[in-house]
């Protein structure tokens, strides 16, 4: 029998009516045998996500009145779901246990993870599936570093004789039992890991949108959906700000060559977006030149200038050693005959003045210039490779939109073109690029 791992986001599990939709989706396909739930999300615009309530509750431990009021909101949320679904998931006792741990023994990671844990308990009871605590299969080392090898072994062994299971997302544990969480949105990662561990035929990621769009709909009204995209393309788009799926969730499925299907819980018949390892050449051409456009704001460009720099051995190494000293990574490093530029996420720089001083000293520069408020925008698509005139179309559209391009970078794979523009030109750049390639 085929195997699908299905992950459902917080909005898909916000209340009992959403649970009912999820059950209909799962039971509609016998291959959907392993379920990864998130914590309950918002039921309405002014609602509060359960994970946020748990963080708030943990931080109020020294203020018992605030703690009790906040925890009561959490308690009622879960008891209401359990009651409305007419299941016995043991929520009353489980909530008492969580409350005790949060007050007297737990870490913030433990507190945050209970949203998924409790939702997983309810989902398992509702479906009649085996509940598998993620702490038993998602392995972190004692220093909090995720251990992928031990995780895959643990999942494979645990699931060997379990045909249908619910595994809560977002967290795991160290060998000593200490709970550790992934970053926010980490349930996507759990789903991908479970898919790899059970050797799934497909990993379905169910959310509140019908797959990936070619551009941010807040910037480009009516942006078209992406039907099929490769792991490499999605990785580029996710890194540059496209947020349908946690970017770290792509790797485990990709490594195991498992397709990922992003689907909409509220519109299950929509095609969604299928993420695959490779696309045939004729399929690439039928999709069009560009697959998607994404970007992020808040970068700076630091340009080091020195006469005869191109003849100086070790200049780049010295510059990068300063970044290492400051625990900084760079996004891009374009260079000229006498210049080398570093594009850095500015919010990661704790002391700009010290950084510039250290670069000046280490590289003995003639001058250093810095440009703030820079956006990086990626135009991504396998169809760009070998397609003459792609760059010309893009730059002509940006010129028409009166956008000043501060940097251009294209990798040898020709899969993307990275542009640096002023933050004020962010929206205009994305719209112009989209209109240049999407009819």
Write down the architecture of domain 292-437 according to CATH.
Answer: 2-Layer Sandwich (3.30)
DSSP H or E run through 253? helix 250-255
| Helix, strand, coil abundance in the chain, percent, nearest 5 | 45, 20, 35
Cβ neighbour number for residue 21 with a 10 Å cutoff: 16
* Residue position matching structure tokens 């972190």: 140
**pLDDT by residue (tens digit) across 201-257?**
999 999 998 999 999 999 999 999 999 999 889 888 877 777 777 778 888 999 999
Cβ neighbour number for residue 388 with a 10 Å cutoff: 6
Chain-wide mean pLDDT for the chain?
Answer: 94
**pLDDT by residue (tens digit) across 116-149?**
999 999 999 999 999 999 999 999 999 999 999 9
* Residue position matching structure tokens 């995720």: 146
**pLDDT by residue (tens digit) across 203-215?**
999 999 899 999 9
Q: Indicate the pairing of strand 179-181 with strand 339-345.
A: unpaired
Q: How many CA atoms lie within 13 A of 349 on its CB side?
A: 21
Spell out the domain ranges in the chain. 4-278, 292-437
Mean pLDDT of the 415-425 span? 95
Q: What is the pTM of this model?
A: 0.84
> From the centroid of its chain, how far is CA 122?
26
Whether pLDDT at 324 is above 90: yes
Closest alpha carbon to 192 in 263, 123, 245, 127: 245
CA angle 433, 436, 439 (to 5 degrees): 120
Mean pLDDT of the 335-348 span? 96
**pLDDT by residue (tens digit) across 60-118?**
999 999 999 999 999 999 999 999 999 999 999 999 999 999 998 889 999 999 999 99
Any idea which fold 4-278 has?
Answer: Carbamate kinase (3.40.1160)
Task: Compute the distance between CA of residue 431 and CA of residue 398 in angstroms, rounded to an integer.
Answer: 9
CB 272 within 8 A of CB 261: yes
CB 371 within 8 A of CB 300: yes
């Amino acid at each position: 029998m085929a195997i699908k791992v299905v992950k459902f986001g917080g909005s898909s599990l916000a209340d009992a009516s959403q649970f009912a939709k999820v059950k209909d989706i799962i039971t509609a396909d016998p291959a959907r045998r392993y379920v990864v739930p998130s914590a309950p999300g918002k039921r309405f615009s002014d609602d509060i996500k359960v994970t946020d309530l748990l963080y708030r509750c943990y931080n109020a431990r020294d203020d018992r009145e605030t703690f009790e009021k906040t925890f009561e909101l959490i308690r009622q949320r879960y008891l209401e779901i359990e009651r409305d679904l007419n299941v016995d998931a043991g929520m009353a006792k489980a909530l008492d246990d969580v409350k005790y741990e949060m007050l007297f023994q737990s870490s913030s990671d433990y507190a945050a993870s209970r949203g998924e844990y409790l939702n997983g308990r309810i989902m398992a009871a509702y479906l009649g599936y085996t509940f598998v605590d993620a702490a038993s299969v998602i392995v972190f080392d004692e220093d909090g570093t995720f251990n992928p090898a031990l995780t895959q072994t643990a999942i494979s062994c645990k699931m060997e004789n379990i045909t249908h299971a619910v595994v809560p997302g977002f967290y795991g544990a160290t060998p000593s039992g200490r709970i550790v969480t992934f970053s926010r949105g980490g349930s996507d990662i759990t789903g991908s890991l479970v898919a790899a561990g059970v050797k799934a035929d497909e990993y379905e990621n169910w959310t509140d949108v019908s797959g990936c769009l070619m551009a941010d709909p807040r910037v480009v009204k009516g942006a078209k959906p992406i039907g099929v995209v490769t792991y490499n393309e999605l990785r580029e788009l996710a890194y540059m700000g496209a947020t349908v799926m946690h970017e770290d969730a792509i790797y485990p499925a990709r490594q195991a060559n498992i397709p990922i299907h992003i689907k909409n819980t509220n519109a299950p018949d929509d095609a969604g977006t299928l993420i695959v390892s490779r696309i045939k050449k004729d399929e690439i051409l039928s999709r069009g030149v560009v697959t998607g456009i994404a970007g992020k704001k808040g970068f700076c460009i630091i340009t080091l200038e020195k006469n005869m720099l191109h003849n100086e051995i070790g200049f780049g190494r010295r510059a990068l050693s300063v970044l290492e000293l400051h625990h900084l990574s760079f996004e891009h490093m374009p260079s000229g005959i006498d210049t080398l530029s570093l594009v850095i996420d500015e919010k990661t720089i704790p002391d700009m003045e010290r950084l510039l001083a250290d670069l000046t000293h280490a590289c003995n520069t003639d001058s250093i210039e810095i440009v703030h408020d820079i956006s990086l925008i990626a135009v991504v698509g396998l169809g760009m490779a070998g397609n003459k005139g792609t760059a010309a179309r893009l730059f002509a559209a940006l010129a028409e939109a009166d956008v000043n391009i501060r940097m251009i970078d294209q990798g040898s794979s020709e899969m993307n073109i990275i542009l640096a523009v002023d933050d004020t030109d962010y929206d205009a750049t994305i719209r112009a690029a989209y209109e240049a390639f999407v009819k």
